[in-house]
A and B are shown apart, each in its own frame.
Chain A
Amino acid sequence: MRDGRRGRTLLRYLDYLRICFRMSVFRALEYRSGVFFQYVVDIVWYVVQFALLRTAFSYVAEVAGYNLAECYLFLAFLFSTDAVSMLFFNGGLEHFTRSVRTGGLDFYILKPMPTLYQMTVARVSLAGLLNLGFTVFFWGYVLRRFQVHYSFAHWLWAILLFTNGIFVNITFRLTISCLSLWTIEGGSLNWLFHELMRFGSKPEAIYGKWARRILISVVPALLLSAWPCMALIRKPSYWALGVPFLVSAVAGLALAGIWRLGLRRYEGLSFQA
């Protein structure tokens, strides 16, 4: 009985995601050049990330214990994180702070669906779908070129940590965005988030012990791509494998608390530009 209700709830969430996706596709088709440029921007970002990391490997065979094949695997994880983020929630979360400022949040609060979920998937991106295609192609290239072989357990941990990383990404971003319930002007908060996440654009081993600790807990930038990659190519301890799940649980609780507190302050300005 209980399982049946949970199943129905899950279906309702998926259905909402489907509707958002359909609406976003219609919107995107109105502005086709926008979709094209969004896609190109992401490809440019991939090329730059590739060039920056690959250049370091043109001088040494190994950086922080990563060889060239592992560096490509890291990039594949990095691109995947970005593509999933662009596809499902980047657009929605970019508008979160704006909705708080303009009062647009009112409409989300009134609907019979958790507000944060609605805000997260409100603007699914068609360009993200194209990026995902590119990422799949890049994965294929890396696996074929380097003939990497890891055990099933390693892949499983990597996939679990990657999924957890996406959850942490959403949670952390929402937490920062929720601060706009206090600050009202939230453009800088989006900027702050992107700057903090830059730490995750390089493998975790380049940072010192303390920096690494901070970057998997306080600012969990390394949990998005670097940690799943590390779980795949190294033999980390169970503690190292478990910490990200602990962090995501704490981050989830913190978000719930901040959201409830912030909502009490929210007055709803009802569409003031």
Chain B
Amino acid sequence: MKPRWWRVLSAPARNFLAQLRLSFVSALQYRTDYLLTVFSVAVSAGVEIALWQLVLKKTGQVRGYGLADLIVYLIVANVISMMCVNWESVLDMSEEIRQGSVSRHLLKPISLFSVATGDWLARKIPVMLGALPVFAGLHHWIPLQFHPHFNHVLMFFALLATSLWLSAEIYFLIIMTAFWLSENQGVAIGFNVLRWGFAGTAFPLAFYPGLLVKFLDATPMPYFVYYPTLALLGRLPTEEFFLKFLYAVFIGCALSFNRWATWQAAERRLQTVGG
């Protein structure tokens, strides 16, 4: 018999694992989505490579990126971008809030955000695992300029964790706008489009004019895709990594607090409106 304190403390983890199991079963039903995700990465990276190879043919390199570097960058960046929470993950929750069926989650011994996180992990983990052999195969087929050191991998995982955290918090905040707005899909899709253009998925952010890069650096945008990619490719010096990591954690804490405060207000509003 486990002590009572242990059962109380481990309850959220057990509930979350149960939710994750359920989400996995549901995600595995939609295998087409996995194929489409891989296809979407190939199209997204392919179109940009087609354009930039013509530029690089003339200039040789842009901001330290040759064609081979850019190919590796785009593949890694697109895989990371795919793993972040995106608007598809939030549409169901927004719909539940609008229709009032969100109340059923409030009865469960697990938070709404844990359910959403479980769903998202269940969708993304198979994608990530599937992307690894594709990437390895590509590396074998076209020898890519990709030789990460152990510390690059460590820095990458640290920044990847912050990237996933930030993306989840931002989308949770967007979801909660459904308590106030009759239609919030536009907010989620709009943010997704912005992230695609200004998070470093289409090309390294260093390609943009200096002023825009400085501006973006003050926002969470580069932390979604750009910095984790730079870390894995060994383009982020260790000192800079620590600064970026701390800043990302700071933004993450601020967003988490915001999310918590907004949820408190939203929950009260849900009680008023009913289901």
Contact = CB atoms under 8 A, between A and B. Distances in A.
Interface in A16-52: 31, 33-34, 36-38, 40-41, 44-45, 47-48, 51-52
A186 to B, nearest CB: 10
A63 B51 contact: yes
13 contacts: A34-B186, A44-B193, A51-B208, A52-B48, A52-B203, A55-B207, A59-B58, A59-B207, A185-B30, A191-B40, A202-B51, A206-B50, A206-B51
Interface in A216-243: none
B59 to A, nearest CB: 6
Interface size class, chain B: 35 or more
A196 B43 contact: yes
Interface residues of A, number: 35
Contacts of A36: 186
Interface of A: 31, 33-34, 36-38, 40-41, 44-45, 47-48, 51-53, 55-56, 58-60, 63-64, 185, 188, 191-192, 195-196, 198-199, 201-202, 206-207, 211
A256 to B, nearest CB: 26
A52 B49 CA distance: 12
Interface in B55-75: 55, 58-59, 62
Contact of A207 (B40, B48, B50, B197): B50
Interface of B: 30, 32-33, 36, 39-40, 43-44, 47-48, 50-52, 54-55, 58-59, 62, 181-187, 189-190, 193-194, 196-198, 202-203, 207-209
B203 A31 contact: no
Given A188-B30, A188-B32, 17 more contacts: A34-B185, A44-B194, A47-B197, A48-B193, A48-B197, A51-B208, A52-B197, A52-B203, A56-B52, A59-B207, A63-B55, A185-B30, A192-B39, A195-B39, A202-B50, A206-B50, A206-B54
Interface residues of A: mostly helix, strand, loop or mixed? helix
A64 B183 contact: no
B61 to A, nearest CB: 10
A33 B194 contact: no
A188 B36 contact: yes
Nearest to B194: A44
Contact of A199 (B47, B55, B183): B47
B187 A37 contact: yes
Most chain B CB within 10 A, of A51, A196, A201, is at A51
Contacts of A192: 36, 39
Contacts of A196: 43
Given A37-B190, A198-B47, A51 B55 contact: no
Contact of B36 (A33, A195, A198, A211): A195
